[in-house]
Structure 1
Amino acid sequence: MSGTRREIPNDPGRKERILDAALDVIARSGVHGTTHRRIAARAQVPLGSLTYYFAGLDDLLAQAFARLADTMSRLYRLTLENAGSATEAEQAVVELICGPAYATQRDMTLIFEMYAYANHNEAVSLTTRTWLERSRESLSLHFTPGVSRALDALIEGWPMHRAFADAPLDRTLVTAAVRAVVGMESART
């Protein structure tokens, strides 16, 4: 029976809107202050929509964090794919650390919430591990596994420091650190 009301979505994109709204609520109120009501209000959907798409709040939060990780992983990958040389790859890493597009203040707030929640939710813990693996895979387009791991730690850590210091990073220092990490592999051989 084709074309029934059940088969035709009356609000395409509703699930994605709910996930985006969940991230907005988490960014503003933290996981501890995130409720079905707040998410539904932010998404401008009936409260019942949340139970239609998600098994519960834990499921909704897990899918929202998976959406965050996927979005950030795609930007990370694209930044590195666009690098055509070793020098451009180093510059791409510096841009991921210092630039305005990756790890914004909102992103960092969400990342902190995701990491904390991952300690108590296996699905989010898996999302976090997968995200780290995807980051290293993207870095491996240009760097060895050891260098990729070290650079990923810089890309994760430096924006955290920037977020808490509430000050821009010293791009010259970051560039020097990235070059030193990249050079460590050739120094070992």
Structure 2
Amino acid sequence: MARRHDPERRDRIIDACLDVIAEHGVAGASHRRVAAAADVPLGSMTYHFEGIDELLYLAFERFSIQEAAHFERRMHAATTFEEAIEAMLRITTEDVFDSQRDLILTHELYALAARRPEFRELCHRWMGRSRAALERQFDARTARILDALNEGLTTQRALDTQPWGTAVVVDAIQRVTRSRQPPSPRPDDGSPSPAQSR
């Protein structure tokens, strides 16, 4: 029987691996389960990937790239300090962990990263992209704090048994950024500055 032409099979397996992790966890992501989810022969797993570790890495790499790109789109659309604050609010309250699937995938990745350096490097690159996007409007230190704040707030909001409003998030972001807001430009009225008048 002629082999079915299926050029997107490898990509489909990677996507299916994420679905399996979301449903069964990393521990349940076997070759057999992923092959069934991708609707491919079991032999395709060893044909396209050296082993389950390579597949897990590629799946989490794809997930982290997609999430980082979404964060970047929000921040790159912000052209003023005020818009950047609003973007941070939207990211924290609407984008991150906007589904149970994203919550599970993120924490499954974190659990792997806590044990294995190659997955820790994935997280490092993900955080690096987030901070670089924040640095379009904030200094590097504030960007790092905001990135960590976003991580903590979204995790607690997602796992808390009581629903959160946005007030706590707004307050937290304002506390971090209030003292770091760029000074408003002074009107050029021709009067000397304090330094010039000395």
- TM-score > 0.5, shorter chain as reference: yes
**2:153 matched to 1:161?**
no
Partner of 1:138: 133
**2:48 matched to 1:53?**
yes
Q: Counterpart amino acid of 2:175?
A: A
Rounded to whole Å, the distance in 2 between the matches of 1:18 and 1:144 is: 40
Rounded to whole Å, the distance in 1 between the matches of 2:7 and 2:179 is: 50
Partner of 1:32: 27
Rounded to whole Å, the distance in 2 between the matches of 1:184 and 1:39 is: 50
| Contact 2:14–2:58, Cα closer than 8 Å, also in 1 | yes
Partner of 1:21: 16
**Could you report, residue by residue, the CA deviation over 1:123-147 in whole angstroms, capped at 9, with x for unpaired residues?**
2111111111111011111111111
Rounded to whole Å, the distance in 1 between the matches of 2:163 and 2:38 is: 32
**2:133 matched to 1:118?**
no
Instruction: Classify the secondary structure of the residue corresponding to 2:105.
Output: helix
Rounded to whole Å, the distance in 1 between the matches of 2:68 and 2:37 is: 25
| Contact 1:80–1:139, Cα closer than 8 Å, also in 2 | yes
| Contact 2:64–2:126, Cα closer than 8 Å, also in 1 | yes
Rounded to whole Å, the distance in 2 between the matches of 1:55 and 1:13 is: 18
Partner of 1:62: 57
Between the two proteins, what is the percent identity of the paired residues?
37
Specify the structure having the higher radius of gyration (Cα). 2
Partner of 2:97: 103
Partner of 2:193: none
Instruction: Classify the secondary structure of the residue corresponding to 2:108.
Output: helix
* Unaligned ranges ≥5, structure 1: none
* TM-score, reference length from structure 1: 0.88
Q: Counterpart amino acid of 1:178?
A: I
* CA distance 1:153–1:19, change in 2 (3 Å): same
Q: Report the alpha carbon displacement of residue 168 of structure 1 after superposing the two structures with TM.
A: 3.9
| Contact 2:96–2:154, Cα closer than 8 Å, also in 1 | no
Rounded to whole Å, the distance in 1 between the matches of 2:116 and 2:9 is: 25
* TM-score, reference length from structure 2: 0.84
- Superposition CA RMSD, Å: 2.0
Q: Report the alpha carbon displacement of residue 28 of structure 1 after superposing the two structures with TM.
A: 0.8
